[in-house]
Amino acid sequence: MSADRVVVVGAGIAGLTSALLLAHRGLQVTVVDAASEPGGKIRRVMVDGAPIDSGPTVFTMKWIFDGILDAVGTRLDRELVTRPLPLLARHFWDEGGELDLFADPAAAFDAVARFAGLAEAERFRAFCAQAREVYDTLEGPFIRSTSPTMTRMVGDLGLRGLSVLSRLGPMKSLWNSLGHHFRDPRLQQLFGRYATYCGSSPWEAPATLMLIAQVEMDGVWSVDGGMHALAQMMARLARERGAQFRWGARCERIELTGGRASGVLLEGGERLPADRVVFNGDIAALASGLLGDPVRRAAPAVGQRSLSALTWSIHAPTEGLALDRHNVFFRSDYRSEFSDIFEAGRLPRRPTVYVCAQDRGQDGPQAGAQRLLCLVNAPAIGGRGLITSEALAECESTTFSLLHRCGLALSPQPHQVVRTSPEDFDQLFPATGGALYGQATHGWMSAFARSPSTSPVPGLFLAGGSVHPGPGVPMAAMSGQLAAAALMGSLASTSRWRPVATSGGMSMR
C-alpha cells in the first residue's frame, strides 16, 4: 500500500467523496473538519429532541452515488435505503391555486391540465421536451467534463448540440425563456424557481438552467434516516477503508514547501504534513487569504455571491393543510424577491417559502409534532452585522403569515424552533457571507467561471459546491470525484498509479 499522505480539509459531501475514493485506492487519508460530524451543509439540527434535516432535502441524481459506491466495491442500495417520491412537490399560491407536480409524466400532464387548462399542459409537455434536450446536450460536454471551457465545449457539442442550444437562445435568461413556454405566470414562477437550486435569480440565470427541472423530473428520493444518513454512510465507508477523521479541527493554513502543498496547520498549532491537500471549503476562503497568503492564488476572487437562506428547523404540530414532503408557497410579484436580495441586499419583503415536511412520504408520524424545515432565500450578507433582529423578525412574520394565508396553521413554541440566518451560515462556512452555492450562476458565461478541481498551486485540489460542476449534493459529490481523479492522475504522472480514463472523467476502480 502507498504511503502517499492526503489531507482533505472539509467533510462536506465533496470532501467525503474524495476521501472515500482515495482511501479505497490505498492512500493515507486524513479528513479535518471544524464541525463535530460529517456532512457540512447536510446539517442535522436537534429541535426539542427531534433530528431535523436542516440543509439539503431534495435528493436527486442518485446515479452519481450509484457510480461512487460502485467504484469502491459496494452498492448504494446495500448501504442506504432510498425511496422514489411519486409526488415531486406540492405548490400553493396565496392568490389561489394548488398544483402537485408528479414524477410520472402523464400524471404531471393531467395535473397541469386541471390547474391551467389543456393548452398550457401541452406547453408544459413542450417545455419538458426542451429541458430534456438541454440536459442531454450538456451532461457530457459540461457536467461530466473535468474542466469545461467555452471553446472546448463548442467542440464537444457537435452540430446537434449546437443546434439545441441555439434554439434555446443561450443568452436568454431562464425567466425570459419560460415566458415563451408558458402563458400562466404561475408556471413561469414554478419553473423559474429552479434557478434558486444553484443560488441564482431566474432573471439573471441562463436559460440552460432549465436542465435543473429535468433533473428533478428524472426523480427525487427520500433517504431513510434523513439526508444526514447519506453523509454518515459516506464517512463510514471512508473510515472502513482506512481514512481518519478529525472533528473540531479547523484548518488555519494550507502550507506550501517549494511552492507546492505540503500540509495543513490546525487551529491550536498542530501540523499535519501531506503530499497532497484537497480543499472542500468554499473557495472564497482561499481567495480571501483566510487559509494563508501563499494559497490565495489557488482560486479566483469570487464574483457575485449566490443566495443565502433564512431557515427555521421546527418540531411542532401543523393543521389545516395537507402537506406533502416538499411544499412551496408562492405569492405574486416574484421579481421583488430577487431585486430585494441581489439589488438591495436585504431580506425579501415578499419571500417564497419552501417547507420540507420530513415525516411525509416516509414512515414517520403523520399526526402530532411534525419535523419541518422552512426556508426562504436571503442575501449573502452575513458576517457584517447588516441583518438586524428587527429585519429578521419582520421576515419571519411575513413568512409565517403567507403559510397561514395558504391555510397552514403552524404556531411553534420558542423551544420548538431553531432559526439559522445568513450570519450563522457565514460562521459555519467561512468567507462566504452565508452564500450556500458558491458564486451565483448569472449570465451565460458564468458556468465557465467555476474553478476546476486542479488549482494553480501544485498538490492542492479543489472540491465542493463552489467549484465545477457546481452546487447541490450530487454535483458537489461529482466535484469530489473529479478532485480524486485529478489527484490520482497527478500520482500517476510521478509514480506507479494508473488511473483509467473513461467518458465520464476518470474511473477510480
Chain residues binding ligand FAD by CB under 6 A are: 9-15, 32-35, 40-42, 55-58, 250-251, 280-281, 285, 309, 311, 375, 429-430, 436-437, 464-465, 471-473, 476
Smaller CB separation from ligand FAD, 157 or 200:
200
Sequence-distant (≥ 6) Cβ neighbours of residue 10 within 8 angstroms: 31, 32, 33, 40, 279, 280, 281, 463, 464
Give the shortest CB-160-to-ligand FAD separation in angstroms. 29
Q: How far is the CB of 275 from ligand FAD (least distance, A)?
A: 19
Q: Distances in Å between the alpha carbon of 328 and those of 109, 441, 482?
A: 19, 22, 33
Name the minimum Å distance from CB 444 to ligand FAD. 22
Which CB, 58 or 187, lies closer to ligand FAD?
58
Of the candidates 43, 49, 52, the one whose C-alpha atom is nearest the C-alpha of residue 415 is: 49
- Give Cα 503 distance to the centre of its chain: 24
State which residue, 281 or 469, has the beta carbon closest to ligand FAD.
281
Angle made by CA atoms 301, 307, 313, in degrees to the nearest 5: 130
Name residue 509's amino acid.
R
User: What are φ and ψ of residue 56, in 5° steps?
Assistant: -65, 145
Q: Residue 417's beta-bridge partner residues?
A: 314
Q: At closest approach, how far in Å is the CB of 158 from ligand FAD? A: 29
Using the minimum distance from each CB to ligand FAD, give the nearer residue, 127 or 437: 437
Nearer to ligand FAD by Cβ, of 182 and 461: the residue is 461
Between 226 and 464, CB nearer to ligand FAD: 464
- For residue 301, the 8-state DSSP code is P
Q: Who's near 319: CB < 8 A, 6+ residues apart?
A: 408, 409, 410
State the minimum distance, in angstroms, from the CB of residue 57 to ligand FAD: 5
C-alpha distance from residue 474 to each of 62, 186, 203, 231, 464 (Å): 7, 28, 25, 12, 10
Nearer to ligand FAD, 168 or 287 (CB): 287
- Give, to the nearest 10 degrees, the angle between helix 118-138 and helix 105-116: 140
Least distance to ligand FAD from the beta carbon of 164, Å? Answer: 25
Main-chain dihedrals φ then ψ at residue 37, nearest 5 degrees = -160, 165
Backbone angles phi, psi at 189, to 5 degrees: -65, -45
* Shortest reach from residue 122's CB to ligand FAD, in Å: 30
Residue sitting closest to ligand FAD (CB):
12
